[in-house]
Chain A
């Protein structure tokens, strides 16, 4: 199970990097979103996937799921959600002012 999850995470990473290297704003932003999904899946896998009882410590509970990765992912999802929405607004404003959504044309001149 862990192996399949890791392969899935690596596919997400690969597509994310491919999208990040594109020139259009929107593709790049989709790339960052995919990257965060890959990272979150990765955290979940790293905490070892287990079938068993919820992490409530009680007598006789031996095989419980690790709660920490889930807490980490929740925090990280909220952060990446906020950053993605900020990026979308920023990209929209940059597009309106610079009249282009092509990164290649946004290199800038010397000594501004």
Chain B
């Protein structure tokens, strides 16, 4: 399945990009993408929100998304137009939140080495294959653990819970 390939320009940042710079708490009195997106990454790169175009890709180092549990962070990234984040590693809660809201995240240290700011890349979030279109390079992101793959396939945790709730309600009717 490769009909959902993402294609965009790279915005490359360093290590430990924390949730406070992804979306400062002063804007977290809202959780709506349209309120958050204009401020995404503004304390790190004031021009990000105005330059990023739909489909663009964030590439970063270790520990991306460290800090707060605020789901506003992946919502802001997606709302700003970024289609996915490629990093050497992700902080735990950001990782869960991204999977839950359906923001593709890829762990691919070699790709981070081989991709520069401004490169054009093509990413297949289903296979994890990352292709640099600016200068030759192709990488395979780490696969997701099987159970997380299941959650992604079913369309996120909310869909899983919907199915479970339907079962619970059915059982309640039967008994």
Q: Do A and B bind each other?
A: no
B contact set with A: CB distance below 8 Å: none
